[in-house]
Amino acid sequence: MDLLRGTVVVVSGLGPGLGRSIALQSARAGADVVLAARTADRLAEVAKEVTALGCRGLAVPADITDAESAAGLVEAALAAFGRVDTLVNNAFAIPPLTSLAEAGLDTLREALDTNVIGTLRMTRLFAPALAASRGSVVMINSAVLRHSRPGFGGYKMAKAALLALAQSLATELGPQGIRVNSVAPGYIWAGSLQWYFGYLARQRGVTAEQIYQETAATTDLNELPGPDAIADAVVFLASSLARAITGQCLDVNAGEFHH
């Protein structure tokens, strides 16, 4: 598939799970990829994987909560490739997983600084390049938008603010030809969730497979998507197939929630 052939994709928040999958699926679709995160070693490893797929990978250590560091990322991307076609805002700081009545306000503020303000900073900095390419922005959101379970108030507050940001930017940047969309994953069957299911299994004295089957049964497809399935939705929204789609949030959750 060459959906992104000849384009440049910037991925912020490059972790070992979804961030890596977004980078590699973008490369498999033909894009050169700029990789941004605070951990330099991980960036270098994924850049090598991108190169092995026949595309160029540029690793740029960056902190999106720091204005100078974020500006340096833009400069590095344009110096290397001369253009940017898609910005994927994947950087995320986990808010305190407790009730809003008990969550520390400073901790909540720090999470919002990364999840919302940092994302806005990145989008504003890349907007001129995206306008030149008539490109797009993809925000990585969460299925937490669709429920209000105890302990997830701070998480939902951050992601709801991110959704509002994406929708507002779609309206504001649309006249420049920039599309802004969101992807909201549910469970992602990867390292951290696999570890957690193993922990639950040990606590209950059952197998991890039983925990998986019980959880998967809450979805229409009776399965939990892996990170590549989420990344494929990002590639779609970045591609010309989605050229008339903006301001939308695409849920990728195997049917756990309907929206």
Contact present, 82 and 57 (Cβ < 8 Å) = no
Q: Tokens 């925990």 — which residue?
A: 211
Choosing from 155, 187, 196, 199, the catalytic residue is 155
The pair of three-digit structure tokens given for residue 84, joined into one six-digit string? 């940017």
Task: Identify the H or E element spanning 37.
Answer: strand 32-37
Identity at 249, one-letter amino acid code: C
Burial of 6 (0-12, 13-18, 19+ CB in 10 A): exposed
Identity at 199, one-letter amino acid code: Y
Of 86, 90, 184, 94, which Cα lies nearest the Cα of 141?
Answer: 184
> Can 155 be counted among the known catalytic residues?
yes
SS3 of 110-173: HHHHHHHHHHHHHHHHHHHHHHHHCCEEEEECCHHHHCCCCCCHHHHHHHHHHHHHHHHHHHHH
| Catalytic positions, written as ranges | 155
